[in-house]
Structure 1
Amino acid sequence: MESLGSVSESDRGAKEIKLAPAPPGEEEVDHEAARPPYIHAMLAGGIGGLTGDMLMHSLDTVKTRQQGDPHMPPKYSSMGNTYYTIWRQEGVRKGLYGGVKPAAVGSFIGTMAFFGTYEWSKRWMIDYGVAPSISYFTAGLIADLAAAPVYVPSEVLKTRLQLQGRFNNPHFDSGYNYRGTLNAMRTIVRHEGFGALFHGFKATLWRDLPFSALQFAFYEEERGMAKRYVGSNDIGLPLEILTAATAGGMAGVITTPLDVVKTRIQTQRTDTSSSPPNQPTSSLSPSSSSKHSTPSKSTHTSSSHSRPISTASPSTAVRAHGAATLDTSSVIRGLRIIYKSEGIWGCFRGVGPRGVWTSVQSGTMLVLYQQLLKWFDQHPLVSNNAEDL
């Protein structure tokens, strides 16, 4: 997350980094002393985040399928197998890019909110004498909190649409069957309540806050090493990509268990979802109100479990469907359930696609963010005096 402020760090914070001495007669240019106007930072962040998310959306779908697969044994055994199977059976638009609309809206608006909040809170803390490293860390947490109310509902819609695939999907029974984004939103609100759009809110924060903190710590250290190696604040595009990608990838791998819990909480279904459409239920599954009824095997889940979603890992042995359920919204309890039923590999289900996704997405977003800031500096949308507004 250090990259979010690397272009706009104050003089006080920038002087913390000691670079190789400049040649005689030349002064070291401190690119981090500049503070771009908020509108520049927000647009650069929004465009960068949107580009990174759209570029890697298909891989995010692969990760979601692996983490939320309710079948036993799991249908998808590896990242390559999952990608090929979804593409062959369901295609690109409805399969690999299912849920892309809510993902795009949530990514752009949420990232704009993130970068705007990050820049404001970071500058405020630095101006009041808070150490730059603490300012970056704290600003990243505050920015995630600010973006979450926008991001979480779009994440719920995106995740469910990714898990279901195409409408009336004959190849994968996820328990969901929406006609599209608006239909999914209406169905969720009508049968599960408005609060269902915020399922996994705490779990999302549990995942994103540590991710942002780790990404910031890794990226700050790597950029510091790169600057000392190059002897300049301008480390060049190859090192910008390398530092951003490795920081995001490492943070993504470490926080995979929290991502697994978040995905399961947002996609778990109520027990009444298997009942016929003509039976009134308090939490009706979208699939039960459509032509694509849930296969009879899903009704064999134990009635004692209110949320029968399988937590099986691709590496676990075949067991009865519904033997392990995640009947909780607690992150800690969810991790315990997964660990006891599946072991450590169950907690890291989907780690491959998540590691690749966060690496490429972070590299794309952070590098594009900095390049766009440079472009906006040459073609300003507002006067430089507006940066203090």
Structure 2
Amino acid sequence: MFSFTSSIPIIHPSHEESHLGRANGLAEYGGNEDGNDKHKNDSARKYNPIIHCVLAGGIGGAIGDSVMHSLDTVKTRQQGAPNVVKYKHMLSAYRALFLEEGVRRGLYSGYSAALMGSLPSAAIFFGTYEFLKRKMIDDWAINDTVSHLTAGLGGDLVSSFVYVPSEVLKTRLQLQGRFNNPHFHSGYNYRNLKDAVVTIGRTEGWRTLFFGYKATLSRDLPFSAFQFAFYEKFRQWAFKLEQKSQNQDLSVLSELLTGAAAGGLAGTLTTPLDVIKTRIQTQVPSTINADSQQLVRIENSLVKGLTAVYKSEGMLGFFSGVGPRFIWTSVQSSIMLLLYQVALKSFDRY
């Protein structure tokens, strides 16, 4: 999604005494901090209300995506225009976008489309995740780890109906940049978000808004699975390094670093699928070649897309934009999760 796509830490029952865990509605429960509930059975557990999770998720997702949007724009230019020299490296791409197109029309192009998708899709994801997790663990007595993984995949799947169309709009506007852009020819020239929606619907059909749907899911579902697995392992290492038992709190720094490392590694491994997703969603009716600025047109197929990238760019083509994606998934995940927890604490307090 993210993309909104940020996975949720798995907190096992052994963490029930953790203050951080109790603040996180994804894993523990709202209510008393005195520990009087710890001997009650699962049916007596008091979770944060679903509506709190929905609101906190929307806030965390929207702010996290907003902070990292410029980096996402750089990644989109690198993946959508792989042969343009000025976008080859992250810093040079940042510099070119800032100097030539500015912040609002350059680095933050497509921001309105991103916000339109990230806020509701994050809210839907967190709400769906909490509902499924509680149903599976409390009502169906399914293993915690299986429940967390399944609920995370379910949250991604349900929220995808919102974030995929916004991703198509966002990536096209990011690739285009400013209207009548004299510095880069993308094949698109929308005046604004509304014009993009109307133009796509009129000239290409509304199904275009779901271009790359399978590619997006193929990227986001394994991303979530990888992040869950990595986060659990990194947390185990962090507990050993800090010489703490599982019922104690990790330091805030460790919480941030484990989340960032899990998100960054998962983001790196799924970069090839992210490349294909971006190319499919930004494909134009014909291949463009203007002043040696060539965009690779890829059919709406994962296999064909992977083959086309390999033939035209080699193995390195699969990892175009990997630098910005690594940073984006690392920082966005940490920001989103931290803000989610802070929001839940605030809702509990007031």
Structure 2 length as normaliser, TM-score? 0.85
The verdict on how the C-alpha distance between 1:156 and 1:52 changes in structure 2, with shifts beyond 3 A counting, is same
The 8 Å contact of residues 29 and 233 in structure 1, kept in 2 or not, is answered as: no
1:184 to 196, 209, 214: 196
Take 2:48 and 2:17, find their aligned partners in 1: how far apart are those partners?
23
Identity within the alignment, % = 53
The size of the alignment, in residue pairs, is: 321
Cα distance change of structure 1 residues 68 and 254 upon mapping to structure 2, 3 Å threshold = same
Counterpart code for 1:15: S
> Would the alpha carbon gap of residues 2 and 270 (structure 1) be closer, same or farther in structure 2, given more than 3 Å must change?
closer
Structure 1 residue 249, shift from structure 2 partner: 0.6
Report the 3-state secondary structure (helix = DSSP H, G, I; strand = E; otherwise coil) of the residue aligned with 1:89: helix
1:230 equivalent in alignment to 2:230: no
1:212 aligns with one of 224, 245, 248: 224
1:179 match: secondary structure: coil
Give runs of aligned pairs for residues 66-85 of structure 1, distance below 5 A.
Answer: 66-69=78-81, 72-85=83-96
Unmatched 5+ residue regions in structure 2? 1-5, 19-33
Cα pair 1:244 1:367 within 8 Å, conserved: no
Contact 1:90 1:165 in 2 (8 A): yes
How has the CA–CA distance of structure 1 residues 84 and 73 changed in structure 2, closer, same or farther, with 3 Å as cutoff? closer
Alignment of 1:214-293 (within 5 A): 214-227=226-239, 229-231=243-245, 232-271=247-286
CA–CA separation in structure 2 for the residues paired with 1:152 and 1:143 = 14
Residue 115 of structure 1: which of 120, 126, 131 is its match?
126
The answer to whether the Cα contact below 8 Å between 1:2 and 1:136 also exists between their aligned partners in 2 is no
Q: Residue 102 of structure 1 contacts residue 157 of structure 1 at CA under 8 Å; is this kept in 2? A: yes
- Residue equivalent to 1:196: 208
Equivalent residues of 2:78, 2:87 under 8 A apart: yes
Pairwise CA distance, 1:199: 0.7
Instruction: Give the counterpart of 2:137 among 104, 107, 126.
Output: 126
Larger radius of gyration: 1
Q: Quote the residue 1:317 is aligned against.
A: none
Question: 1:364 maps to what in 2?
Answer: 335
Return closer, same or farther for 1:109/1:18 CA change in 2, 3 Å cut-off: closer
Task: Report the CA distance shift for 1:102/1:82 in structure 2 as closer, same or farther (over 3 A).
Answer: same
The code of the aligned residue for 1:336 comes to: T
Native 8 Å contact 2:86 2:96 kept in 1: no
Contact in 1 for aligned 2:17/2:248 (Cα 8 Å) = no
The one-character-per-residue Cα deviations of 1:184-217 (angstroms, maximum 9, x if unpaired) are: 0000000000101111111110111111111111
Letter in 2 for 1:250: L
Q: Which moved more, 1:328-337 or 1:136-145?
A: 328-337
How many Å apart are 1:43 and its aligned residue?
A: 1.1
- Taking only aligned residues, the RMSD between alpha carbons, in angstroms, comes to 2.6
Q: TM-score, normalised by structure 1?
A: 0.77
Superposed displacement of residue 17, structure 1? 8.7
1:51 Cα deviation after fit: 0.9
* Distance change (3 Å), C-alpha of 1:73 and 1:56: closer
